[in-house]
Structure 1
């Protein structure tokens, strides 16, 4: 049966994922609560002759298994086959430990029931693992960290022989270092309590970190390198409906087509999220086929599907396929046929543009096809130079290249003074009679008002370019800012607007809204589509990373082998 974003029994998957999370919490609570710890009986010491401290190891194993089950709950919710395999193993292990130590009644029943249910619904979990990671990377990471902790303790035991009671053998030292990974005291006895505590802490920390990181690498979703969107296949699908359509040609995106090849969805995978932007490409009648193929691809890899910046029409279609929609902000669209700088409302724009013009700037508006290769290369170099050390911004409304020969229909606006270019705008095509702003950069030492001069010059040149509509920057949460400033706005609206203004110190939320509002645009709402509210934090992280506003640090990505 078709679910919100897959082709499996969604209810069974949700129940199993929730039950797995409950089992993990029960296992952790048994270890964390004093009553649960007192219920642990050192039965193995009596039955199998193991040391009395063996119950400490059982506590550690149960706690780590509980954390593992919490991690597995997310993997099961995404129908990962490997998560199912590990869940079956852990539920069986926890059930045995709980029964052997006879410390609870409810927990063994829950975990045993979960084990049976996992076996019964095994066909529901078919999402493929990360092909880059493979099972061996998780095992290797676990082994490296565990071996490192054990070797560290072994070296301490080897060189601290004068702080030990008696003369433990080489094998005794090795066994003590290995047992410390699961919190069991080995055969070595210390004269100094500090060394005993140190080796126990090192061993236990190494064991827990090894289990958690090994489980992460074993269960994480695929994050493949972008396949690149072939221009020949996609350019014919870029129509006139969406101002963001041309940005589908970014080199860091992958694409999935509808069965009829009349529509497509482009996306990028980050942090387990398949992030699409704008509306699907192609014939709106074929959008459902492309969306179904995209959601099936997400289900097959355990990705969370999300869409940034879709239109109201696109959000409606995504909603019909099980995704929820939330208004994200507004796109500023200017009608070039009626735009004028005259009037009181345009006084600020008129004065700023006149200031830049008096400073000696002249503006040129041209198609990229009208420029030489040398000039395009020079403008691309200037754009990179002006960007400096800042990351490349934009995903849903950025092409990720400037003045490229592959984009002959792009419009480039340059502001020059004394033979030197100090400002650059790049607009990508929006159908046959529209443009959408892509790049806005200038020299930091340039005169104020340069951007206003370039935009008004472009709008004045639109009739000669055959352009009737121009899309400017996207203003995130514009409606919330506007509502918070109205007379009589409620406390919630004012508080939300204040919070957005605070965030503007880092993310230019308010400044972009103010800049766009100068040109008296028509505000067109844009939406974010997502499968469930619980996925929003992960989607927000992926969106911030894609847009160049944060996300996972570069050092962390290298450690996770994602770069």
Structure 2
């Protein structure tokens, strides 16, 4: 009806329906909302229609039509109003971006679509709430800072309005606000922020019309005023020195080679983001040092811009027509903000590569540099006629370090030579690029090297011992990452341990022949003494505790293991009433128990498992515990079985993992480790899964099912050994942590299956080392706890 389909609203229509400072100032406040009903052309209409169908329709289905309408109207109005306010404020300061924003008009339905999407995250599960908010906001912030058009600012403002107003517009999630997250998820989000800050300049480099505060790289597409040979003639005239300089800068910034070299810092940061995602300390160092170098360059450029009147003095922007101090200051502040995030999150990136991983990286890079230098000097000497002057070997050798620096940072320096022919240009522009590419490839490979403590050969030997002669019900935990391995002199025993605060803290009993357990413990204690460590055998069973007490070691019960004997098991009688109720409800609701592994499970099922786990961790708002408590990473073991509670729609309600227990090469039992359920799923899912696992194990002829240990919890027994002051202290600690981690409630839950109780001990030779052992155990269980998380933990304990 308005003729706005093919090319958007005409100027006469736009002043009545498009959002802009002038149209709003003309007394048309409705443009805040009418601009969300138009697009700028047929292609945009088609794309927006796809987004509406893919995003807006599912959001309306989730939150209801009434809330959807209110959220769309509010976020569109608030977002457009805030964007116009920003444009008005930005135009009061002398800068090109503000002036252009002031003159822009916008028609864009994506603002209310994104605003409503972000508002609806208030009622989503924690994992998806965090993921959607982070992904969308990082993308929109990047677009606003680099592309910088009024529609980009409007979308960002509408999305922010959705996040802030979402709880009032759409309600709140039943799980409450997110207070924390797993280390894995935090690493991913920080890597995402770094990657987005990198992709922004790359997008701007390929967007000549970008006007945002960080759109510096669009100058790469400025028209070059002279060819290389024409520039020789210009520079030959002393009166044209300034014109010569401008021409040299433009020529050095044009073409594919300079573009690639200018993008190399961004590519290096993308490589570091992959390391951050994997938790690698080397990736963190690479990102920190790269941001530090970029901050130094930006600061130098800011000083040059502020002290020099000649606009060509800017390191980042050269002679670009939009150069100004504010454009230098904004990238500097953005880089500083990201660096602060990296420094504050250092504790998340402590995964280190084994010794010997990085010398090949440096040697390979130096080798590439040596080859590039020889080729540049040798071929450059042969192609001396291809440069604007006879370079000579020394001149080329002196110029080689400059080939490693992006041309955008060389604008304050006169080039010793300039290429004239295609062959010389190829040599001049690509020698440094190849060195950087070799470095990036080698760094990427280093991030894929198994982490320190992941000794493939040692793990293979440990697994052989776990199969035959076998270990205890908890021994499979020794295969988890983070453990080092000691092997006895006869290779018949192995001990998994980790060293903290001078304490060699073991994971479970020594693995191997039970008949010679005493000799293995003595030999391991001697090994610790040679290294100046205090041995502490943690999470061990009664046989090891008996040997330790006989040798005068201190013995403390730190957990209670529950074991279901499968011989003659039948869920009958009043004591199994809860278990039978769970099984009956599962049949009625169409929920079945399905065995699989993380490797064999379909991608859709794996995604649901990850979502359930991350939601469980995030909503606790407290650090995720490790050491003897497994997480997602431990599910990747192909010998670990998963048992899922899954309905007819392939909707996963809960997941449990079961570690194998072998004796003389035969599977004799399964041990429960990972158990997490969906907050809004089948409620008695854990009772159902454990009962189903017991029935399946019974059919396979297994001996028992271990429900693993509950730390700092113990069942009351009349035959308990004499209690000491340390036992009383651990009991007090268990009661204190119960409201937060619920270990005693976990033990009470397991009692539904009428298990056999087996105490789990910590034994050590020197009581004076108990403070150091306490630090070691705390660090083992909470290796990544931050100051803020510790403060929240203490506050919650005091509150309870």
**TM-score where L is the length of structure 1:** 0.51
Task: Identify the residue that residue 450 of structure 1 maps to in structure 2.
Answer: 685
Task: Identify the residue that residue 505 of structure 1 maps to in structure 2.
Answer: 739
In the superposition, relative to structure 1, how do residues 469 and 240 fare at CA in structure 2: closer, same or farther (>3 Å)? farther
Q: What CA deviation, in whole Å up to 9, does each residue of 1:309-351 have, x standing for no partner?
A: 1111112334456532222232100012332221111112322
In the alignment, structure 1 residue 514 sits paired with structure 2 residue 748 = yes
CA contact (8 A) 2:506 2:538 kept: yes
CA contact (8 A) 1:244 1:397 kept: no
CA contact (8 A) 2:471 2:512 kept: no
Distance 1:356 1:269 in 2: 45
In the superposition, relative to structure 1, how do residues 496 and 329 fare at CA in structure 2: closer, same or farther (>3 Å)? closer
Q: What CA deviation, in whole Å up to 9, does each residue of 1:511-542 have, x standing for no partner?
A: 01101111100011211111222222322232
In the alignment, structure 1 residue 381 sits paired with structure 2 residue 618 = no
What displacement does 1:242 show? Answer: 0.5
Distance 2:459 2:605 in 1: 20
Distance 2:518 2:560 in 1: 25
Distance 1:493 1:316 in 2: 17
Distance 2:789 2:745 in 1: 31
Aligned to 1:462, the other structure's residue is in SS state helix
Task: Identify the residue that residue 165 of structure 1 maps to in structure 2.
Answer: none
Task: Identify the residue that residue 469 of structure 1 maps to in structure 2.
Answer: 704
Task: Identify the residue that residue 439 of structure 1 maps to in structure 2.
Answer: 674
CA contact (8 A) 1:480 1:497 kept: no
Task: Identify the residue that residue 261 of structure 1 maps to in structure 2.
Answer: 491
In the alignment, structure 1 residue 547 sits paired with structure 2 residue 781 = yes
Task: Identify the residue that residue 328 of structure 1 maps to in structure 2.
Answer: 558
What displacement does 1:555 show? Answer: 9.9
Task: Identify the residue that residue 155 of structure 1 maps to in structure 2.
Answer: none
CA contact (8 A) 1:226 1:254 kept: no
Task: Identify the residue that residue 654 of structure 2 maps to in structure 1.
Answer: 423
**TM-score where L is the length of structure 2:** 0.37
Distance 1:268 1:382 in 2: 30
What displacement does 1:503 show? Answer: 3.1
What 5-or-longer segments of structure 1 have no aligned partner? Answer: 1-223, 484-491, 557-563
Instruction: Select between 234-243 and 384-393 the one with higher mean Cα deviation.
Output: 384-393
Matches within 5 A, 1:273-312: 273-312=503-542
Distance 1:439 1:362 in 2: 18
Aligned to 2:465, the other structure's residue is in SS state coil
Distance 1:385 1:496 in 2: 30
Instruction: Select between 327-336 and 471-480 the one with higher mean Cα deviation.
Output: 471-480
Two-structure CA RMSD over aligned residues (Å): 3.8
What 5-or-longer segments of structure 2 have no aligned partner? Answer: 1-354, 356-450, 719-725, 791-800
Give the structure with higher Rg (CA). Answer: 2
Matches within 5 A, 1:139-538: 226-229=452-455, 230-238=458-466, 239-319=469-549, 323-366=553-596, 371-372=600-601, 374=603, 377-378=606-607, 381-382=610-611, 384-389=613-618, 391-396=623-628, 398=630, 401-404=633-636, 407-417=637-647, 418-431=649-662, 432-479=667-714, 500-538=734-772
What displacement does 1:226 show? Answer: 4.9
Aligned to 2:753, the other structure's residue is in SS state coil
CA contact (8 A) 2:712 2:733 kept: no
Task: Identify the residue that residue 28 of structure 1 maps to in structure 2.
Answer: none
CA contact (8 A) 1:386 1:441 kept: no
Distance 1:336 1:368 in 2: 26
CA contact (8 A) 2:470 2:512 kept: no
CA contact (8 A) 2:623 2:789 kept: no
Distance 1:311 1:450 in 2: 30
Task: Identify the residue that residue 360 of structure 2 maps to in structure 1.
Answer: none
CA contact (8 A) 1:331 1:525 kept: yes
Q: What CA deviation, in whole Å up to 9, does each residue of 1:444-482 have, x standing for no partner?
A: 222321111111111111134442211003134544657
In the superposition, relative to structure 1, how do residues 439 and 495 fare at CA in structure 2: closer, same or farther (>3 Å)? closer
In the superposition, relative to structure 1, how do residues 339 and 541 fare at CA in structure 2: closer, same or farther (>3 Å)? farther
Matches within 5 A, 1:93-112: none
Distance 1:512 1:304 in 2: 31
CA contact (8 A) 1:308 1:396 kept: no
Distance 2:788 2:527 in 1: 27
In the superposition, relative to structure 1, how do residues 496 and 381 fare at CA in structure 2: closer, same or farther (>3 Å)? closer
Distance 2:503 2:728 in 1: 32
Q: What CA deviation, in whole Å up to 9, does each residue of 1:176-205 have, x standing for no partner?
A: xxxxxxxxxxxxxxxxxxxxxxxxxxxxxx
With CA pairs under 8 Å and 6+ residues apart, which has the higher RCO, 1 or 2?
Answer: 1
Distance 2:779 2:609 in 1: 23
Q: What CA deviation, in whole Å up to 9, does each residue of 1:4-32 have, x standing for no partner?
A: xxxxxxxxxxxxxxxxxxxxxxxxxxxxx
Aligned to 2:595, the other structure's residue is in SS state strand
CA contact (8 A) 1:507 1:549 kept: no
Distance 1:511 1:529 in 2: 25
CA contact (8 A) 1:473 1:512 kept: no
Distance 1:330 1:553 in 2: 30
What displacement does 1:286 show? Answer: 4.2
Distance 2:535 2:786 in 1: 19
Distance 1:459 1:439 in 2: 16
Size of the aligned set, in residue pairs, is 327
Structure (1 or 2) with the greater helix fraction: 2
What displacement does 1:267 show? Answer: 0.4
What displacement does 1:292 show? Answer: 3.6
What displacement does 1:433 show? Answer: 1.5
Distance 1:410 1:528 in 2: 26
CA contact (8 A) 1:426 1:438 kept: yes
Distance 2:639 2:753 in 1: 24
